[in-house]
Structure 1
Amino acid sequence: MPIRQFQAQRIHAPREFKAIPEQALCVEIGAGKGKHALLFSQANPSQHLVAIERTREKFLAMKKQHELNPCDNLNPVHADAIAWMVHALYPAQVQQLFILYPNPEPHNPAQRWLNMPFFEFLLSRMAPNASITLASNIPEYISEAQQQLDTVWQLPYRLEKIATDSARTHFEVKYLARDELCQQLVVTKPEGYQTRFDDFMPLQGKVTQPNEATTTA
């Protein structure tokens, strides 16, 4: 399906937004109660992970787990992921991105991540050879994402069946316990891949007017 251009310059900053350093990061969108975020941070002490969760109840649960199991390389963030990324992230900053079992948006397919104009902006934040891991228990969701990767975004990926003993998120544990097929796409951003947002700097809490945008047509 055709993708219109994302209007990054019109996105308002999340409440209580705080800027972050321009350093290599990993990011998880929709981190829930933080099970994967904690596991990843503990297993990868040299990598800094920002775990974003919009729902207050889930964020507070993640924050509590982080306080009980502190990791200096984990930064839980309570915000809308799109707004936070537009205001916080620099071009080519993200080394790994995780979108694990997102809302399938059954009544609004345009809100699925690879169908959204925002996905082009997200790609501009990824470093060359960085990876995006998208997991789902819905075969149709994965199939549609594959089609978008092939026809719209033209990105290489591999499709993987998730092992039955995997336990990265609470959803993953639940789905696998029900013998559901869980799959993931591991997408790579190749060297030289270009977007219209490659020179767009983080808004840092400021919203510009459309004619001030650094994007190109």
Structure 2
Amino acid sequence: MPIRQFQAQRMHAPRDFQSIANLPICVEIGAGKGKHALLFTEQNPEHQLIAIERTREKFLAMQKQHSIEGQSNLQPIHADALPWVVHALYPKQVQQFFILYPNPEPHNPAQRWLNMPFFEFLISRLQSNGSITLASNIPEYIEEAEQQLKKIWNLPYEKQVIAKDSARTHFEVKYLERGELCQQLIITKPESYQTRFDDFQPLQGQNAQDTV
């Protein structure tokens, strides 16, 4: 189905928004209570991860656990991901995006990640040869995403079955214990890939004092 162009300039900044430096980072969207974010930053101390969660209760749980574990390379953010990404991230800044078990939006398919105009903007924030990991326990969700990657976005990807002993998120643990098939797409951005937002600077990023 055709996808209209995303209107980035119409996005209002999240409440209490703070700019970030233009340095390589990883970003998890919909981080929940932070199980994957905490695990990833512990196992990959050389990577900086920003973990975004919109739901206050889940964000506070992540923040609390982070205060206990104390990974200096993790920054939890309480915000809606779309306006935060538009206001904070620079072109080709992100090494990896993680979108693990997003809401499948059964009654509103236009809100699924690869069906949204915003997905083009997300790609513009990704480094060349960077990756987007999209995981789901719903085969139809993965199948539709594959079709969109082929027909709309023209992006290469690898489809993987997630190991039964994987435990990256609370949802993943629950689904695998039920015996459900969990799959992920590892989407890669080629060197030559272009979007209409490649020169679009963050709406408030220029105000960051520590930007390099």
Whether the 8 Å CA contact 2:20–2:205 is kept in 1: the answer is no
- Secondary structure of the equivalent of 2:38? helix
Structure-2 residue corresponding to 1:70: 70
Whether the 8 Å CA contact 2:89–2:205 is kept in 1: the answer is no
Whether the 8 Å CA contact 1:17–1:205 is kept in 2: the answer is no
Structure-2 residue corresponding to 1:210: none
Amino acid across the alignment from 1:97: F
Question: What CA distance in whole angstroms lies between the structure 2 residues aligned with 1:65 and 1:141?
Answer: 31
Alpha-carbon deviation of 1:205? Answer: 7.4
Which residues of 2 match residues 106-121 of structure 1 at below 5 A? 106-121=106-121
Whether the 8 Å CA contact 1:13–1:205 is kept in 2: the answer is no
Question: What CA distance in whole angstroms lies between the structure 1 residues aligned with 2:205 and 2:157?
Answer: 34
1:73-94 deviation per Cα after TM superposition (whole angstroms, max 9, x unaligned)? 0000000000100000000000
Which residues of 2 match residues 129-144 of structure 1 at below 5 A? 129-144=129-144
Structure-2 residue corresponding to 1:212: none
Question: What CA distance in whole angstroms lies between the structure 2 residues aligned with 1:109 and 1:65?
Answer: 33
Residue 192 in structure 1 maps to residue 192 in structure 2:
yes
Structure-2 residue corresponding to 1:171: 171
Residue 41 in structure 1 maps to residue 41 in structure 2:
yes
1:35-94 deviation per Cα after TM superposition (whole angstroms, max 9, x unaligned)? 000000000001000000000000000000000100110000000000100000000000
Question: What CA distance in whole angstroms lies between the structure 1 residues aligned with 2:166 and 2:188?
Answer: 22
Whether the 8 Å CA contact 1:98–1:132 is kept in 2: the answer is yes
Whether the 8 Å CA contact 2:5–2:117 is kept in 1: the answer is yes
- Secondary structure of the equivalent of 1:163? coil
Structure-1 residue corresponding to 2:153: 153
1:113-162 deviation per Cα after TM superposition (whole angstroms, max 9, x unaligned)? 00000000000000000000000000000000000000000000010000
Structure-2 residue corresponding to 1:183: 183
Give the 4+ runs in structure 1 shifted more than 4 A. Answer: none
- Secondary structure of the equivalent of 2:198? coil
Amino acid across the alignment from 2:133: T
Whether the 8 Å CA contact 1:52–1:80 is kept in 2: the answer is yes
Question: What CA distance in whole angstroms lies between the structure 1 residues aligned with 2:85 and 2:201?
Answer: 11
Question: What CA distance in whole angstroms lies between the structure 1 residues aligned with 2:204 and 2:53?
Answer: 19
Instruction: Give % identity.
Output: 74
Residue 80 in structure 1 maps to residue 94 in structure 2:
no
Whether the 8 Å CA contact 2:157–2:186 is kept in 1: the answer is yes
Alpha-carbon deviation of 1:18? Answer: 0.1
Amino acid across the alignment from 1:36: H
The alignment's TM-score, normalised by the length of structure 1, stands at 0.94
Whether the 8 Å CA contact 2:158–2:186 is kept in 1: the answer is yes
Q: How many residues align?
A: 206
Gaps of 5+ in 1: 207-217
Question: What CA distance in whole angstroms lies between the structure 1 residues aligned with 2:50 and 2:204?
Answer: 16
Question: What CA distance in whole angstroms lies between the structure 1 residues aligned with 2:46 and 2:137?
Answer: 30
Amino acid across the alignment from 1:197: F
Alpha-carbon deviation of 1:192? Answer: 1.1
Gaps of 5+ in 2: 207-212
1:135-193 deviation per Cα after TM superposition (whole angstroms, max 9, x unaligned)? 00000000000000000000000100000000000000000000000000000000010
Question: What CA distance in whole angstroms lies between the structure 1 residues aligned with 2:154 and 2:132?
Answer: 14
Whether the 8 Å CA contact 1:88–1:202 is kept in 2: the answer is yes
